[in-house]
Amino acid sequence: MTGAVITAWSAISACGIGAAAHRVAYGDPARRLRPTAVGEPVPAEAHVAADFDVTEALGPKGTSSMDRCSGLAVAAAADLLAPGERPQGHFGCIQRNQSAPGGIAPPSGIGVVLGTTSGSAQTQFDFTRESQTRSKPYRVNPALMPFALMNSAAGQTAIWHGLTGPNTTIAGGRMSGLSTLRYGARLLATGRADAVLCGAVEEYGPARQRLADQRKPDDADGRPLGEGGAVLLLEPAAHAPAGHVDPDRTDANRTDTDRTDANRPGGRVPLAELLGIDTRVAVDDDPAAALEVCIRRTLDRAGAAASDVRTVAVSGPPGPLAGAERDAVARTLAHADVRDPGEIIGDTGAATGPFQVTLLLDRPGLALTTAVDEDGTVGCGLLRVP
């Protein structure tokens, strides 16, 4: 038991913007979009988040140099913090960036934990290209630099929404979903945050496509890349009991009067309880066996039988690793229904993990999410959907 529950989610991908658009595509294969040709300069097919434009979503101020990773994160988070409020046609953010006058935001108690592979590959590439091709190597756009850092998406999410809680970026690759949920649950357990936005984003661009192509030169039949981000709202179970609002969770009982109501989620009905997470490193290069150990141990710790798990979402890594992941699942959870977000939205890299979770929330019972990364890490997370 991690003591944490997922109470809301939001996502942006080729399926569209917001949870509702994703539920539609998840539920009806006929509504799923084919990958589109992305052409020059790297000919490929990809599932791009075509409905999402950073400036359109967030407005012109603070976005002229913003990468799509950061834009996706800020926009996806907005949905969880101010549902239904999108003034000026935007996502309804408190834009506390660059030019914001006055002091800092009051302590919000809301943390942000986002996963990544290596940040915005496109920003990093563009920055290097400028430096390599201009008359002086420092004739670069300095505004790109903070966006080139891997913590940009998490930092921007905090800046735009005034979230002063712990703000952590985990470069977990395909393990990001599990890593951010475990880290977030621990922030709740240790009292460092009252609620945590856990998720990951992955942009599509020629720089990422080139890196993917180079990493797997022999994987010509590989799955198209996908773009998107998914963010889960994680809260302590005690704060969000199923079906009713905890009377203790009222403003009068809060000692910290600085906290703003607008940013505090409250009284949400849990969508899933996070029962446990386990990860391992396949040091003997047998990821299937390592994942099998994780799955069995996670079920044991939760006192659950393999036959209780009704649904599994796999991470679908490139190449033979996908087979290893499926093998481990088949050996342990032969009767479960297996789902794979990559079949719907393409390979969204670090964002695969949170997308996997969003695929499991429609079916009551135990559900398992698995992950296998090219770096040799494997793991799983067990959820109970009410």
Partner 1 sequence: MVVTGVGVVSSIGTGADAYARGLREGRSGARPIEAFDTTGFAHATGCEVVGFDPELWLRRVPVAEAGRATQFAIASARMALDDAGIGEDGLRDRRGLVSVGTTDGGSDDGERLAASFVHDGPAAADPAAARRVPASRLATGVARDLGLADVEVSTIATACAAGNYAIGGGVDAIRTGEADYALCGGADALCRMTFTGFYRLGAVDPDRCRPFDVDRHGIHTGEGGAVLLLEPLDDALARGARIYAEVLGYGLNCDAHHQVAPHGESVARCMALALDDAGISPGDVDLISAHGTGTKANDVTECGAIHSVFGADGDVPPTVSVKSMLGHTMGAASALGAVACALGIDGGFIPPTINHTETDPECAVDCVPNTAVDAELGVVANNALAFGGNNAVLVLGRPA
Partner 2 sequence: MNVDESAGAPAVTNPVVRERAGEIKALVCRVLETEPDAVGLEDRFVDDLGADSMKLIELLSHLEIEFDVEIDEDELDRLVHLRGVYDVLGDVVGA
- Interface with partner 1 (CB under 8 A), residue from 10, 156, 332, 369: 156
When CB distances are held under 5 to 8 angstroms depending on the partner's kind, the choice from partner 2, partner 1, none that residue 63 binds is partner 2
Q: Spell out, one character per residue from 216 to 255, where the chain touches partner 1: x when CB under 8 A holds, - when not.
A: xx--------------------------------------
Site for partner 1 in 130-149 (CB under 8 A): 131-133, 136-138, 140, 142, 144-146, 148-149
Q: Does 322 bind partner 1 (CB under 8 A)?
A: no
Task: Decide whether 61 or 192 has the Cβ nearer to partner 2.
Answer: 61
How far apart CA 74 and CA 72 sit, in angstroms, is 6
- Interface with partner 1 (CB under 8 A), residue from 33, 82, 100, 338: 100
Q: How far is CA 188 from the centre of its chain?
A: 18
- Interface with partner 1 (CB under 8 A), residue from 162, 229, 287, 354: 162
CB of 75 to partner 1, least distance (A): 17
Q: Taking Cα atoms as reference points, which of 209, 216, 380 lies closest to residue 290?
A: 380
How many residues belong to the site for partner 1 (CB under 8 A)?
Answer: 83
Q: Taking Cα atoms as reference points, which of 168, 230, 210 lies closest to residue 354?
A: 230
CB of 375 to partner 2, least distance (A): 35
Task: Decide whether 135 or 214 has the Cβ nearer to partner 2.
Answer: 135
Q: If residue 12 lies in a helix (H) or strand (E), which one and from where to where?
A: strand 4-13
Q: Are 252 and 280 in contact (CB under 8 A)?
A: no
Task: Decide whether 106 or 365 has the Cβ nearer to partner 1.
Answer: 106
Dihedral sign computed on CA atoms, order 219, 201, 326, 20? negative
Q: For 302, list phi and psi in degrees, rounded to 5.
A: -85, -5
When CB distances are held under 5 to 8 angstroms depending on the partner's kind, the choice from partner 1, partner 2, none that residue 131 binds is partner 1
Task: Decide whether 145 or 245 has the Cβ nearer to partner 2.
Answer: 145
DSSP state at residue 136: S
CB of 122 to partner 1, least distance (A): 10
When CB distances are held under 5 to 8 angstroms depending on the partner's kind, the choice from partner 1, partner 2, none that residue 376 binds is partner 1
When CB distances are held under 5 to 8 angstroms depending on the partner's kind, the choice from partner 1, partner 2, none that residue 173 binds is partner 1
CB of 144 to partner 1, least distance (A): 8
- Interface with partner 1 (CB under 8 A), residue from 1, 24, 189, 242: 189
CB of 65 to partner 2, least distance (A): 8
Residue 36: HSE in the Cβ half-sphere, 13 Å Cα cutoff: 13
- Interface with partner 1 (CB under 8 A), residue from 164, 298, 348, 358: 164
Q: Does 166 bind partner 1 (CB under 8 A)?
A: yes
The angle, 0 to 180 degrees and rounded to 10, between the axes of the packed helices 287-302 and 321-332 is 40
How far apart CA 69 and CA 203 sit, in angstroms, is 5
- Interface with partner 1 (CB under 8 A), residue from 173, 236, 341, 346: 173
Residue 313: HSE in the Cβ half-sphere, 13 Å Cα cutoff: 26
DSSP state at residue 9: E
How far apart CA 284 and CA 38 sit, in angstroms, is 39
The two tokens of residue 162 are 């005034």
CB of 51 to partner 1, least distance (A): 26
- Interface with partner 1 (CB under 8 A), residue from 24, 50, 61, 128: 128
The angle, 0 to 180 degrees and rounded to 10, between the axes of the packed helices 121-133 and 206-215 is 100
Q: What share of the chain is helix, strand, coil (3-state, %, to 5)?
A: 35, 20, 40
Q: If residue 381 lies in a helix (H) or strand (E), which one and from where to where?
A: strand 377-385
How far apart CA 80 and CA 212 sit, in angstroms, is 31
When CB distances are held under 5 to 8 angstroms depending on the partner's kind, the choice from partner 1, partner 2, none that residue 60 binds is partner 2
Q: Which residues are at the interface with partner 2 (CB under 8 A)?
A: 60-64, 98-99, 101, 134-136, 139-143
Dihedral sign computed on CA atoms, order 163, 74, 314, 122? negative
